[in-house]
Amino acid sequence: MTDRLDPVREGTGEQLTGHRLTLSVVVCSYTMARWPDLVAAISSLQRQSSPADEVLLVVDHCPELAVRAAGVLAGVRVVANREQAGLSGARNTGVALANSDVVAFLDDDATADPDWTERLLAGYLDARVLGVGGLVRPRWETARPPWFPPEFDWVVGCSYRGMPEQAARVRNFIGANMSFRRAELVAAGGFRPDLGRIGSRPLGCEETELCIRLAAGRPEAELRYEPAAGVSHRVPEGRTNWAYFRARCYAEGLSKAVVARYTGRGPALASERRYLRSTVPRGLARAIGPGGGGPREFAALALGVATTLAGYTSGRFGRPGALGRLVGPVRRARDPGGAP
């Protein structure tokens, strides 16, 4: 396969060659601690109403996992991360080895709805669409904490209240559920290896930076959020306490500061400004209203915003000294049972 997409008719997405868009799904994993989750993720892909043309499991420097997966997971192409250790390197390896027009990414602790692949590919009928991402629902291992505001479900890697409820153009996707035209990923150079999670390092936003870079200077280009393309993302008990919530908010702020250095503060913070001006005030009003979570949820919203802003300020001005104290809860909660 070449990195050139077949030409399409403007406005219809019809392939002039009659070529059906093909799809590769990339799942990245780095630890044996998530083996049950990984098996569930792969099983969900094998039950798709429109199966992907190939499924690649990229193992990030964990030989034991690679051996076990190759011997157990039928119909899956198991490969080792060929780049720098970390999620960005693993994803770039998957893109390089994929043989399809579109590359989708599913987290190793998420399961895809039966029509996930079909819903994602439908978005590419429009030639302007560079990528399609979908809804990420939290699947709580224990009960959802009553104080945990849905406006902050991004803390656990899920779609949050305030995101579009219908198909819409967005700035960036959530990493657990996203797809792109492979040719566009290759042309853009893929994910930055100096961003993204490496083992237990809790920094991220590599998806945000990539999405901004893909669309930069291309007003006609579109990244489309399609909530009908859904996945469920497991949330372990270790991510349901205040210590994790606070640490993850701080790490998000640090990550956004890094993204702003690469893309400029305008693109890097455009969605965040709308979030602060609209989503958060509505959330605060909801928390203290009928059916809301009350003072504890109100406090979580307010303190979550303050902690995220503190992380951003520290990252922007080069004083992330509190990171070591704050990210410990994130590291301990990365895997089931608090495995590092």
What number of residues does the chain have? 340
Angle at 321 between CA 279 and CA 89, to 5 degrees: 70
Give me the CATH code for the 23-239 domain, please: 3.90.550.10
The DSSP symbol for 7 reads P
Considering only CA atoms, which of 116, 103, 29, 11 is closest in space to residue 73? 29
Q: Note whether 26 and 95 are within 8 A (CB).
A: yes
Q: What letters, b where the CB count within 10 A reaches 16 and e where it falls short, cover 234-254?
A: bbbebbbebebbbbbbbbbbb
Question: Which amino acid, residue 305?
Answer: V
Residue 333 backbone phi and psi in degrees, to 5: -100, 10
- pLDDT tens series, the chain, 340 aa: 333 233 333 333 334 345 689 999 999 999 999 999 999 999 999 999 999 999 999 999 999 999 999 999 999 999 999 998 889 999 999 999 999 999 999 999 999 999 999 999 999 999 999 999 999 999 999 999 999 999 999 999 999 999 999 999 999 999 999 999 999 999 999 998 877 665 455 567 889 999 999 988 788 999 999 999 999 999 999 999 999 999 999 999 998 988 888 878 777 788 888 999 999 999 999 999 988 889 999 999 999 999 999 999 988 887 544 444 444 444 444 433 322 2
Contact 23, 100 (CB under 8 A): yes
Whether the CB-CB separation of 248 and 133 falls below 8 Å is answered with no
**Residue 323, Cα to own-chain centre: how many angstroms?**
22
For residue 152 the two structure tokens come to 């902050």
Specify whether the CB–CB gap between 339 and 31 falls below 8 A: yes
The two three-digit tokens of residue 37, written as one number: 């989750």
Q: Domain boundaries in the chain?
A: 23-239
Cα torsion angle, 69, 70, 72, 75, sign: positive
